[in-house]
Structures are given as C-alpha cells and as structure tokens.
Amino acid sequence: MIATYRRALVLYIACMVILCGWLWASGNVLSPVCHAQINGMHYLTEPMLACEQRKLADYEEEFLPEIVNQQTLPHTGFIVTRNEFNEFGRQAKHITGNTPANLYTWVLFQLIKDPYQILATQSLSLLFLFGLWVLLICRELKITPTAGLFAALSGVTTPFLVYWLTFPMHIATVCWTAALLYGLMRIFRQRDGLRWLVVAFATYGLFLMGYPQTAVYSVWMLAGYVGVVSWPLLRRGMWWDVARWLGFALSAAVFGVLLTIPAYLDLYLRYRDSQRFWVKDEFFLQAIQVITSAKDVLLYGVSRFAPELYGNPLASTYPLEFDGANITLLTGIMVVVAVCYRRRVAWWWLACVVGLWVLTISPTLFTVVLHLFPGFRLSAWTPAWSTVVPMVLVVAYGCDALLGLPVAQVRRVFGWVIIAQCMVVGGGFMVARWFDLPIASWDMVRIGLLIMTTIVWYWRQTPLTTWGALVISILVTAAPLFVAQPRSALIRTTPLTQTLGQSVPTGARFAIVSPALEYLLAPNYNAVLGIASVHSYNNFFTPYYQRLITQLGGKITVYGKLNRAIAPDYNSTVFWMSNIAVVLVAQPLDHPNLELVTQHADVWVYHVKQRMGQFWRIPVQRVANVADIHIPDYQVPQPLPITQYQTKGDVVELHYPVAATQSLVVLSTLYESNWQAESFDGQVWKKVVPVSVNGAFLGVVVPAQSQAVQLRYVTYVQYMWISHLTWLLCFITVGVWYWYSTRRTQK
C-alpha cells in the first residue's frame, strides 16, 4: 500500500517517464502515418501499408499542416492568420490547440521547432497533466493514495486516449476537464487566487485547445456536479454560501472564456457563413449507433468490452469499426465494485457514464437532446467519447472500495465478475460465428490472460495482483494501439512531389482532375510540401469557395467540408483566373491548353499553358455599390500593367502606373469579408471596398489617379497576444501573492 500522495506522485512521474521517455530515446515519431500513400509512392511495401492508419489521417491532413503553416507562412502579426496553400487562401484554424493562438502551444512553439515533436510533446504533456489532475482529485475525495495512483495510471492508458494520442485536442479535452473539476473542488473548500487561476486557465484551455463539441459535454457534466454539491447546502438554507462559491467559480470561468473570445469570434463568423450552419439532424446522428436486433446488441456489447478478441484494432484486416471508446475488462471490474459499494458517493459520475452510453445507442433520445439543450449542434460526436473523466473517477472509487473490502466480499464480487467475463468471451464466439469474424489463437490467448488475471486476483488480493492486473490490462488493451514510426520511415518526398515542386511556381496551384487520384496529396497536406492546391478540407467552407468549386466542375462532400477533385473546362475564364499551373490526371489528355510534363506510374502530370497568374488589372466603367463584378471572357478586356507585387500573407500591396479611368485589380485569391483595402493616389491612402469577381475571386475597384492598392486580411485572432500578456500578468500576480503568503506563514 502507498502511504501518502507525495509518494504516489513520485511513482506516477516515474511511470510516465518510463512510458513516454523511450519515444524520445528511440528517435521514433508519434505518427499514425508514414506519408507513403499521400505522397504517391508507386509501390507500397508491407511496413508502409501497416503504418498507414487512414482513419487517423487528420494528423497529416489537418494538424501537421497547421503547424507547418504557422512556422513557414509570411505574416505581419504575432501569428499566421491566413493560409495561402488551400481553398484559394482561407482563414487559418486556431481552435483545438495546434497554433500559438493559445498560450500552452505558444510556449511549445518557442521551445521546439520540429512539427512532429510539437504534436508529440503537446499530446504527451497533456496526458501527463491529466493523470496529475486525477491524482489531485482523488486526494480531494479522500480516496486512498493507492487507489488514486491506480486511477491515474489506468486513466492515462485508457484505450480511447492511447488510440487518439495523435489527436491533441482529445487529450486536451480530458486534461482541462479534469483540471476544471479539481479547481471547482478546491474553491468549494476555500476561495483564493490560486484556485481561481486554476479554474480560469482550465476553462481557457478547454475551450481553446479541446474539441469544441466535447467541451460542451464537459460543461454540462460539470454543471451537474456543481448542482449535486450545492444541493445539500441549499437544503440547509445556506443560500449565501452557495452564491459566494458559485460567484467566485463563475467569475474565474467567465474570465477564461473572455480570453478566448477573439478566436471564437472568427470561428463564429466562419460558421455563420458556412453550409454547416444549416445542417439537419441527420448530420449529427451519423455518430449514433443504430441497434435493430438482438444480434446487434451482442455484437455491440462484445465490441465494447473485448474488441481485442478479433485482433489488433489498428490492423487493416480488423473486421469491426473501432473508435477506442471501449470498456476494458479491468475497468468493468472497478465499475461493478463502485456500483456495489460506492454508489452513494459516485452516483453522479455513474449517471454520466450511463447517460452518455445511452445517448450513443439511442437516436431518438439524442435527437431530443439536440433540440432541448444548447451547444450540441457543433459537430457529429459520439457521446461515449466523453466518458473518460467520469469513468476514471468511477474506477478510483471502485479501486478504493476494493482495497478496503474483506476477502470474502471481494471473492463474492469477483465470482460474478469472472462469470460475466466468460459470458462476454462466449458472446464473442457467437458473434464471430454469426457474422463470420475471424478469431486468431493469439487473440484468444490475450483475452484468456485477462480472465486468468481476474481468477488469480480472486484467490490472492495483494498489491502484486492489483498492479499486475493493471500492467497486463495495459499490455493487452492499450499497448497495441500506440502508433509510432521510426523517423527514417517517414516518406518526405517522392518523384511525384519533386515534379510538382519544380513545375508549380510560387503563387500558382495544382489541381487533381481525376476522382481515381483523390488519395494523392490530400487537401491541407500539400502545405507540408510548400505547394498550393485548389482543394481543401475545412469544416466551414465559405459560399464563395463552394461557388468556385462548382464552377470548376467539382463537388463539396461530407456535409460541405471536403473537396478532393475538380473537372474543369480548361478554356473557361474561371479556370484561367484560378491560376492552376499543373493538373494531375489518371489518363492521358489531349487539350490545346495542356502540355504533358511527365508520367509517374498511373499519374499524368500536365502543365497549363494559359493562366492569369497572381494578379490582373483591367479598366472598368464606373461602378457604385456593386458587390460582384462579372467578367464573362478574360480575353476581351485589355490588361493594364502592374509594376510591383508584394505579399506578406495577410497584407498584399500592388503598385501600378496611373490610368485615365478607374480600374479593377483582381487577385487569384478567394474573396472574404475579412479583406479591407486602401488606395494610394500619391498623397494619401483612402479606403476602398473590395468586391467579389465572378462570384469568387477578390477584386478592388481603384480610382483613376490611384498608384497603389493595399489589401489587409483582418481577423480578431490577431489580438490573442493580449490574452497571452494577461495570463503572464496573472501568473506573476498569483506567484507573488503565494510567495508572500508562504513567507508570512513561516514567520
């Protein structure tokens, strides 16, 4: 038995160093992919196929590119606000914690330069903090140090967190939810600056680094917890005490939310103008499991309690859907014990677990929640994914009860548990027979090892059997889900990417025009290569991008957030204005505007002969209060010269000779309401209003005597440096106060 939480903390740190330290010592990279398929490797070896976890492809299609963009793209503010590589230029993403818009990631950017290590350090450090918060919560709940350490270690190695370890936003959600819970517990006991700061920063981290939809689930769970804690005091008439506690905690939470407002203002404006704003219930119900028969019930139960029975869920041959939200047999034991012996104190967390699982399998109930409770219409999210924190607390209560029970009671519980585990495995064999699922001998051994551990635990309740059960459970359920690649296995370049790098000039783009090649150079990943693409993967496409892709013969799929290919008219004005320098096709093409560059396996690379370039200037007749200018044929207007073009990402400046009439300056950039423009007449800068051209491109009508025009991309997130400075001042203030209080106490 572990006597103190100080000793438990030391043991926890030692275990985490052992679990995470080898990643850096071995030189491996925490990555679910090796970039072989996306870079167009002609022949994929078995190791390459094994390392390509396409379900986790957001790592290379979203997280990695956003970090590379922040490190490489030009900008005038303290962070990059505009991504030039996709969507004909779009607003950079600053939610979910992959950019310096939040203080935590900003610090990592200052310390680490390698994007792979930034992501790995972010995930592993947040995972470490999550376990630390669990330890502190268990201490507040008067749970024994042994049970607290058991809960912390089982929590950081839960299959969900290990499976999604390359998605820092999921780790951040559970980390800051636990931190917020701990802060609320501490404030309930005593109100001071340090506890206030914990709640404030945890709220800030939850909303700025966590996945927004999971943050909503966490807020509702914590709101329920506050109600549970406050109710006994209210029954005793202690209204004023509750009001002071809630007011103090709420002020901290509001402060944390206020410091995220710049980022969320930009997000809301994008959301408001996107197709997602009008999405129907069916979009959210796609994450809900539909069960229609007894066989489905059994299949679902086995897949949630013993998915390892059918092999490694990461293997390409794994026959079932897997999302990591399963309950290990060891966790099941602790839940049973908690229900039997700690349900009076753990009932709220048990209710959260049960409620979230019921929502996961009940489309009708989930639809009711969508319409009754605010905040659940952000994205499609499986409710069971939000059970990590309440489940860890249930495990803590269960382990605490187990360590204090007489041997006879433990054996009585374990007897029923062993029967239940055998029934789960037996059900797994029935499911395999019904659905023709393979079960390998080694997988039977692994599951059998878990049951044997429970049987040994039945006969001998000692620290060795307790910790042995945890170690074996981790090795069987969590370790196979850990994805890491040798750095040497990463495919950084291929003949295809080399050809693109040489054929696509600065400011130009490439496009995929054959659906058969959609797997190549997926949207956003092209930013890692430093090559712009017309395609994009973004939750909130603007109407202008949707209109442009439609004009180019492409489609927006997955509820308006993905485009991988187009089918353009190579003679059209829209194609010419798109500044596409190279197209990739799956078969030879014969078109006067295309010239073959080379062929790589089943990919033909064609150079586009006629394109607009980055800018275009033409004379126009007087226009007033016109939101869009239509140019049907680019060959009709006589172009006017532009002598100088400068871009710093969020600021574009063009110089040109004075014209006799007003003129239209067009950029091969997507129009957005964020653009502001000023025209220079040789003496002063005067504001002019940007317009859209052909329903998509960015244009500015400049006066006759204009000599230059400057366009600035304005966002709210550029003011997040104020949040960083505010936090720095808060930390200094609380640190000085804590030092002074400690010194005065010692005297």
Q: What is the pLDDT of residues 106-163, one digit of tens each?
A: 999 999 999 999 999 999 999 999 999 999 999 999 999 999 999 999 999 999 999 9
- Number of structural domains found in the chain: 4
pLDDT given for residue 275 in this prediction: 65
Residue type at 547 in one-letter notation: R
CA dist list (Å): 676 to 271, 417, 542, 663, 701: 20, 66, 17, 17, 12
Q: Is residue 741's pLDDT more than 70?
A: yes
Which candidate, 419, 403, 407, places its Cα nearest to that of 334?
403
pLDDT given for residue 476 in this prediction: 93
Helix (H) or strand (E) holding 666: strand 663-670
Same domain, yes or no, for 373 and 354? yes
CA gap 504, 493 in Å, rounded = 15
Q: Is residue 35's pLDDT more than 70?
A: yes
Q: 209, 167 in Cβ contact below 8 A? A: no
Of all residues in the chain, what percent carry a pLDDT higher than 70?
98
Last residue of one domain, picked from the residues 453, 482, 511: 482
Same domain, yes or no, for 260 and 157? yes
Question: Residue 747: which pLDDT band, with cuts at 50, 70 and 90?
Answer: low
Last residue of one domain, picked from the residues 234, 250, 278: 278
Question: Residue 50: which pLDDT band, with cuts at 50, 70 and 90?
Answer: confident
User: Where is pLDDT greater, at 553 or 374?
Assistant: 553
Q: Within a domain: residue 59?
A: yes
First to last CA, the chain: 36
pTM: 0.93
CA gap 204, 196 in Å, rounded = 12
Q: What is the dihedral of CA 67, 165, 155, 424, to 10 degrees?
A: 150
Q: How many other C-beta atoms are found inside a 10 Å radius of the C-beta of residue 673?
A: 12
Q: Is residue 22's pLDDT more than 80?
A: no
**Helix residue ranges per DSSP H, 460-609:** 463-473, 495-503, 526-529, 543-551, 573-577
CA dist list (Å): 233 to 228, 230, 240: 10, 5, 10
pLDDT given for residue 294 in this prediction: 84
What CATH number should be reported for the domain holding residue 700? 2.60.40
Q: Is residue 525's pLDDT more than 90?
A: yes
Same domain, yes or no, for 83 and 161? no
pLDDT given for residue 293 in this prediction: 84
Question: Residue 317: which pLDDT band, with cuts at 50, 70 and 90?
Answer: confident
Question: Residue 40: which pLDDT band, with cuts at 50, 70 and 90?
Answer: confident
CA dist list (Å): 281 to 277, 284, 356, 364, 481: 12, 5, 18, 11, 32
Residues 520-535 have a mean pLDDT of 93
Same domain, yes or no, for 232 and 295? no
Q: Within a domain: residue 726?
A: no
Same domain, yes or no, for 2 and 48? no
User: Where is pLDDT greater, at 184 or 57?
Assistant: 184
pLDDT given for residue 231 in this prediction: 93
Question: Taking all residues of the chain, what is their mean pLDDT, rounded to a whole number?
Answer: 91
Q: Is residue 43's pLDDT more than 80?
A: no
Which candidate, 16, 219, 7, places its Cα nearest to that of 131?
16
Same domain, yes or no, for 288 and 392? yes
Which candidate, 57, 56, 52, 60, places its Cα nearest to that of 98?
60
Q: Within a domain: residue 734?
A: no
pLDDT given for residue 277 in this prediction: 58
Same domain, yes or no, for 478 and 330? yes
Question: Residue 711: which pLDDT band, with cuts at 50, 70 and 90?
Answer: very high
Q: Within a domain: residue 570?
A: yes
The 3-class secondary structure across 353-380, one letter per residue, is: HHHHHHHHHCHHHHHHHHHHCCCCCCCC
Instruction: State the DSSP string of 476-499.
Output: IIIGGG---EEGGG-----HHHHH
Q: Within a domain: residue 527?
A: yes
Q: Which range, of 115-119, 271-275, 394-398, 532-536, averages the lowest pLDDT?
A: 271-275
pLDDT given for residue 164 in this prediction: 95
Of all residues in the chain, what percent carry a pLDDT higher than 90?
64
CA gap 317, 328 in Å, rounded = 22
User: Where is pLDDT greater, at 486 or 129?
Assistant: 129
Instruction: State the DSSP string of 605-660.
Output: EEEES----SEEEEE-----S-SEE--S-TTSSPPPP--EEEE-SSEEEEE----S
Q: Within a domain: residue 345?
A: yes
CA gap 233, 3 in Å, rounded = 32
Q: Is residue 47's pLDDT more than 90?
A: no
Q: What is the dihedral of CA 567, 573, 579, 585, to 10 degrees?
A: 20
Helix (H) or strand (E) holding 260: none
User: Where is pLDDT greater, at 45 or 112?
Assistant: 112
CA gap 524, 541 in Å, rounded = 14
Q: 628, 695 in Cβ contact below 8 A? A: yes
Range of the domain at 172: 1-29+114-278
CA gap 8, 402 in Å, rounded = 18
Q: Within a domain: residue 523?
A: yes
Cβ within 8 Å of residue 412, ≥6 positions away: none
Q: How many other C-beta atoms are found inside a 10 Å radius of the C-beta of residue 680?
A: 17
Q: Which range, of 42-46, 193-197, 324-328, 584-588, averages the lowest pLDDT?
A: 42-46
Cβ within 8 Å of residue 579, ≥6 positions away: 507, 508, 509, 611, 612, 613, 614, 668
Q: Which range, of 189-203, 218-232, 271-285, averages the lowest pLDDT?
A: 271-285
For residue 582, give both structure tokens: 């190279």
pLDDT given for residue 679 in this prediction: 95
Same domain, yes or no, for 310 and 345? yes
C-alpha 313, offset from chain centre = 21
Question: Residue 329: which pLDDT band, with cuts at 50, 70 and 90?
Answer: very high
Same domain, yes or no, for 328 and 471? yes
Same domain, yes or no, for 74 and 164? no
pLDDT given for residue 599 in this prediction: 93
pLDDT given for residue 561 in this prediction: 83
Cβ within 8 Å of residue 531, ≥6 positions away: 85, 497, 500, 501, 504, 510, 521
Residues 696-708 have a mean pLDDT of 93
Same domain, yes or no, for 288 and 425? yes
Q: Within a domain: residue 678?
A: yes
pLDDT given for residue 746 in this prediction: 66
Which candidate, 203, 187, 177, 180, places its Cα nearest to that of 248?
187
pLDDT given for residue 271 in this prediction: 82
Question: Residue 48: which pLDDT band, with cuts at 50, 70 and 90?
Answer: confident
* Bridge partners, 678 (sequence order): 687, 710
Three-state SS for 536?
strand
Cβ within 8 Å of residue 200, ≥6 positions away: 252, 253, 255, 256, 730
Last residue of one domain, picked from the residues 432, 449, 482: 482
Same domain, yes or no, for 136 and 20? yes
